[in-house]
Amino acid sequence: MKNSAVILLAHLNPLTNAHEEIILSLSKHHNVYVLPVIFLKNGKEITTRSFPFPYHVRKAMIESIFDDMNIVVLPNYSFESPFIKYFPPLISPFSWALRKKILENVKENRFISYTGDAVERLMLRVYLMHPTQAKRLDISASNVKEALYRQATTNNSSNYKLRHNWEDMVPSKVASIIKDNWIIIERFANCADHTIKIMGMKFPREGLCSS
């Protein structure tokens, strides 16, 4: 067992080839804890066009790739409405409570955190999460989602060119999970994106200021 851990805080909505490559690279030297972000309102997860796949589907995506490795998937990176209570950072006791929750299942004494976003990396540094230097992913989940929505809204949903485009960007097992949950893509394909960015991070508008 490795004596240090890396905490990956990410949307993973969906998990892409780039995510797979990063997790594999991190696992060579660290025990890896993957915490997909969750937004809750009255105990129920909020999903949007930007965050279409709920936690249990994203967990299945991760475990389909790393089921034989020491990769731990946890639901601890969860924001509970009203989300505005986590701001301003450092001052809000709820933001520090979230940090404590993120770390409660990390057994190793030494840990680092990972994000490809510069603003998020700054916040992790402020919260003493020891972020490692990283670059933004070459293939983002946003690229995959837009390709999925294009396929869902075309007259010919079996169009090979569109299907080939997004399937090239995710592991084959993840592609199968997406197809099994295609109703989610159809649900959000023609919806507006009800999210708002606060200090570099997207939050659902629903639940932002009221529970």
Domains in the chain and their CATH numbers? 1-205 (3.40.50.620)
- Using alpha carbons only, give the angle 12, 55, 31 rounded to the nearest 5 degrees: 60
**What is the percentage of the chain residues whose pLDDT exceeds 70?**
91
Structure confidence at residue 7 (pLDDT): 96
**How much is the pTM?**
0.91
For residues 75 and 117, which has the higher predicted lDDT (pLDDT)? 75
Question: Which residues pair with residue 31 across a beta bridge?
Answer: 5
Q: Is the pLDDT of residue 166 over 60?
A: yes
pLDDT digits (tens, 9 = 90+) for 22-65: 999 999 999 999 999 999 999 999 999 999 999 999 999 999 99
Q: Is the pLDDT of residue 15 over 60?
A: yes
Q: Is the pLDDT of residue 169 over 90?
A: yes
Structure confidence at residue 154 (pLDDT): 86
| Mean pLDDT of the 132-142 span | 73
| Mean pLDDT of the 133-151 span | 82
Per mean pLDDT, which range of 113-122, 160-169, 172-181 is the poorest?
160-169
Structure confidence at residue 165 (pLDDT): 86
Contact 14, 141 (CB under 8 A): yes
Per mean pLDDT, which range of 19-33, 173-187, 197-211 is the poorest?
197-211
Q: β-strands 31-36, 71-73: how paired?
A: parallel
For residues 100 and 90, which has the higher predicted lDDT (pLDDT)? 100
Strands, E, within the chain: which ranges? 4-10, 31-36, 38-41, 44-45, 71-73, 78-80, 110-114, 195-198, 201-204
Q: Is the pLDDT of residue 109 over 80?
A: yes
Strands, E, within 108-192: which ranges? 110-114
| Mean pLDDT of the 150-172 span | 77
